[in-house]
Amino acid sequence: MKKLVVFDLDGTLAESKSSIDDEMGTLLSALLQVARVAIISGGAWPQFDKQVLAKLPVNDLLQRLSILPTCGTQFYEYTSGWSKRYAEDFTAEEKKKIIDSLNSVVDTLGYKAPQLWGEPIEDRGSQITFSALGQEAPLEEKKKWDPDFAKRQQMKTLLEKLIPEFSISLGGTTSVDITKPGIDKAYGIRKLRDILSITIPEMIFIGDAIFPGGNDYPAKEAGVECIKVRDPDETKRVIEAIVACLGSIT
């Protein structure tokens, strides 16, 4: 029986950089009544706060929710409020090398966007994220930029030569996420296992980028049973099925 349901955020629970809708909030609340829930994403803590937590009722059920920003390099838990359990940040030297390498690759491939909505490179402490059109780009513009991940696969190939000591993964609609070596969603899964004392076979992971090179794929490689979804609407149907199943067991 599954005890922990783990989700990606953008493209899975919500559209990129958007808040979950009312139906998703209701479904997550129902899921928290029958299982523990965790959310792992490349986004920083403010993104989770705005996109998810602001849409959930504040009650004791939040003690069953774990938040892992920046692909699991940070861990937040709820007691009387939200607190950070750990964070594994880059040094200043590491940040400079990553940012310089990103800029070099963008110039080499000619991927500098003619129009930006916000900064294209964001320092999230334990993760550096490149967003091709800027952090606040409209979703429709972002969907056009790299729908088949081909541009970002090219970036990943070049970055792996420039900064092989770091982990590089693709997520969202225009993003490239860079973390410390071995730090990805598999790392977050293992942290959940150790902190919550829930075995990997007792988990299920739901995400939209479960393919080689996708930032959800490490969860599959960690041995978690995975469900690949197309979008938040499909995620809703999956949650309904899980609630019905676990609810009938409990």
- Give the residue numbers annotated as catalytic, written as ranges: 8, 10
Pairing of strands 74-78, 82-87: antiparallel
Q: Where are the alpha helices (DSSP H) in 70-138?
A: 92-109
Q: Cβ(220)–Cβ(205) under 8 Å?
A: yes
22 is in an annotated binding site: no
Task: Please identify which residue in the block is written with the tokens 């952090």.
Answer: 135
10 is in an annotated binding site: yes
**Alpha-carbon distance 235 to 137, whole Å?**
24
Query: b vs e for 70-103, b when ≥16 Cβ sit within 10 Å of the residue's Cβ?
Result: bbbbbbbebeeeeeeeeebbbeeebbebbeebbe
123 is in an annotated binding site: no
177 is in an annotated binding site: yes
Query: For residue 9, how many C-alpha atoms fall within 13 Å in the half-sphere facing its CB?
Result: 29
208 is in an annotated binding site: yes
60 is in an annotated binding site: no
Enumerate residues 6+ apart whose C-beta is below 8 A from 156: 168, 169, 170, 176, 213
Report which secondary-structure segment, H or E, holds 36: strand 36-40
Residue ranges of the annotated binding site for Mg(2+) are 8, 10, 208
